[in-house]
Chains A and B, each alone.
Chain A
């Protein structure tokens, strides 16, 4: 979704700085997992606002519906039944989707200039008109979020409703949540609000309640309040310490300019070798030898023809 009016902080496959003189407020969406009842109103609101519909699929025995993110389903409620230490049962429901990383692996991996951009308010957005459909963003994302559409071969994901945020509206999913489990505002405010929720949870016996704002990706602009922040994996394998994979950093890091310099040196080195050492020609001596042989044979032929 393109919305050029927002200030751009970073742009995929671009080696010079993006316009960033203007500072805008950093925003964040806070998902309070402990207050979510799994009604999927947010999922429905996302489909409504963005006008996207996934085809009706098949039930695989869980409440997740559809059972994965798709190019037409940018958020999915993940349901996990977890046995507690004292033999009880907990039903953990996490709203899955793009985390809007401060250091986005998708943007780092994308080879197409301007297909992925990060606004100065922190939202990471795909500009599908520039997308070539290579899927590098999926390779780079630590949260397995982007999906390539079977229809048009472009990558899609949650936009954090950049179009709504640009005009001062909260994301559709936040607006519609009946329990207030999805909050939206400045990142600062959201962290403050999360603190009050965490204090409350701790008072109610969730000693490990905490905020999920992983530092490994520079923090995220979608954060969770978790009752078990020490074990994020309980929530449908939410990574404990997500970072851009070292393999991706190696692939997209300093190795690229170094490799280009090496190839440039090989090409230039060849040219200068030619200029300084001259071509490797057949020696005059050998050429004359063959010439004499040619002439001898020609003379012999004439002799025979007589």
Chain B
């Protein structure tokens, strides 16, 4: 949909599809994983057919997610290198959270928080994928000491990442006009100028 031809493209269709494959897999993995994590969540197994189906499906969904996350990482890694202005931004993130972004240093395509999220997820995904494979008894046999450590790390990485994703989703809801970037790819010029001014200048050539 083209509402205003002057809107700016932030993600192309392939990037959006890639993101949603990872997102859907993540939600399925979090729901199925939490079912094993604590008895309070065990009823979530009913979403996947049965408790046994949940156990069978979880690691396969994990493999799909790992592959698509790797592709996404390769796509976005360069845009997430940490620069001086990101550190400035992170130091003053309190003002942002407080709802006052007027004096925040200007940001490129991603701000310091988004970059931290990106690298946090890269770390979490690496840990969770490796440990998940080590725990996968249908295919993999490793000494029990390794499985024990893998189980703790897998659960910890899951909690870490679910926490990050709660923040990620909330930030998208909180910052109005953001979700459309991942739904149909564009953002308004006003949005870009307010939240990512350096990127706005770069893509529009607007010097102000």
Residue ranges of A at the interface with B (Cβ–Cβ < 8 Å): 13-15, 111-113, 130, 132-136, 138-139, 144, 148, 153, 245, 247-248, 250-251, 255-257, 259-260, 262-263, 266-267, 270, 273-274, 277-283, 286-287, 289-290, 293-294, 297
Determine if A290 and B159 form an interchain contact, defined as CB atoms under 8 angstroms apart.
Answer: no
Residues of B within 8 A of A250 (CB): 152
Binds A, one of B50-58, B65-73, B75-83, B116-124: B50-58
Q: Which residue of B lies closest to A153 (CB)?
A: B52
Cβ proximity bits B1-32 to A, threshold 8 Å, 1 near / 0 not: 00010100000000000000000000000000
A290 to B4, CA, bound (A): 11
- Determine which of B40, B138, B144 lies in contact with A15 in the assembled complex, contact meaning CB atoms within 8 Å: B40
Given A13-B42, A256-B38, verify A132-B55 contact (CB < 8 Å). yes
Residues of B within 8 A of A112 (CB): 42, 51
Query: Which of under 10, 10 to 19, 20 to 34, or 35 or more describes the interface residues of B?
Result: 35 or more
Given A256-B37, A259-B159, A278-B99, verify A266-B42 contact (CB < 8 Å). no
Determine if B194 and A282 form an interchain contact, defined as CB atoms under 8 angstroms apart.
Answer: yes
Distance (Å) between the CB of A294 and the closest chain B CB?
6
Identify the interface centre among A138, A283, A290, A297: most chain B CB within 10 Å of its CB.
Answer: A290
Distance (Å) between the CB of B207 and the closest chain A CB?
14
A256 to B42, CA, bound (A): 14
Determine if B174 and A290 form an interchain contact, defined as CB atoms under 8 angstroms apart.
Answer: no
A113 to B36, CA, bound (A): 10
Residues of B within 8 A of A14 (CB): 39
A281 to B193, CA, bound (A): 12
Residues of A within 8 A of B40 (CB): 15, 260
Q: Which residue of A lies closest to B150 (CB)?
A: A139
Residues of B within 8 A of A283 (CB): 190, 194
Residues of B148-181 whose CB lies within 8 A of A: 148-149, 151-152, 155-156, 159, 162-163, 166-167, 170, 173-177
Residues of A within 8 A of B195 (CB): 282
A262 to B188, CA, bound (A): 35
Given A144-B144, A281-B176, A282-B191, verify A273-B55 contact (CB < 8 Å). no
Determine if B137 and A148 form an interchain contact, defined as CB atoms under 8 angstroms apart.
Answer: yes
- Determine which of A13, A133, A294 lies in contact with B55 in the assembled complex, contact meaning CB atoms within 8 Å: A133
A260 to B37, CA, bound (A): 9
Distance (Å) between the CB of B111 and the closest chain A CB?
12
What 10 A-B pairs are tightest by C-beta distance, nearest first? A270-B170, A277-B99, A247-B148, A111-B36, A135-B137, A13-B39, A286-B190, A259-B159, A132-B55, A132-B51
- Determine which of A267, A273, A293 lies in contact with B97 in the assembled complex, contact meaning CB atoms within 8 Å: A273
Residues of A within 8 A of B51 (CB): 112, 130, 132
Determine if A290 and B190 form an interchain contact, defined as CB atoms under 8 angstroms apart.
Answer: yes
- Determine which of B99, B144, B189 lies in contact with A139 in the assembled complex, contact meaning CB atoms within 8 Å: B144
Distance (Å) between the CB of A177 and the closest chain B CB?
30
Distance (Å) between the CB of A247 and the closest chain B CB?
4
Residues of B within 8 A of A247 (CB): 145, 148-149, 151-152
B147 interface residue per 8 A CB criterion: yes
A134 to B55, CA, bound (A): 6
Distance (Å) between the CB of B176 and the closest chain A CB?
5
A294 to B3, CA, bound (A): 12
Determine if B149 and A280 form an interchain contact, defined as CB atoms under 8 angstroms apart.
Answer: no
Determine if A251 and B148 form an interchain contact, defined as CB atoms under 8 angstroms apart.
Answer: yes
B101 interface residue per 8 A CB criterion: yes
A294 to B7, CA, bound (A): 11
B84 interface residue per 8 A CB criterion: no
Determine if A134 and B137 form an interchain contact, defined as CB atoms under 8 angstroms apart.
Answer: yes
A245 to B193, CA, bound (A): 55
A203 to B37, CA, bound (A): 53
A154 to B167, CA, bound (A): 38
B103 interface residue per 8 A CB criterion: no
Residues of B within 8 A of A274 (CB): 170, 173-174
- Determine which of B55, B101, B151, B152 lies in contact with A280 in the assembled complex, contact meaning CB atoms within 8 Å: B101
Q: Which residue of B lies closest to A135 (CB)?
A: B137
Residues of B within 8 A of A256 (CB): 37-38, 155
A135 to B144, CA, bound (A): 11
Residues of B within 8 A of A255 (CB): 155-156
A186 to B51, CA, bound (A): 37
Distance (Å) between the CB of A26 and the closest chain B CB?
27
A135 to B4, CA, bound (A): 56
Q: Which residue of B lies closest to A140 (CB)?
A: B148
A7 to B28, CA, bound (A): 38
Given A132-B54, A139-B151, A273-B97, verify A263-B162 contact (CB < 8 Å). yes
A144 to B173, CA, bound (A): 49
A15 to B147, CA, bound (A): 25
Given A111-B42, A251-B155, verify A133-B99 contact (CB < 8 Å). no
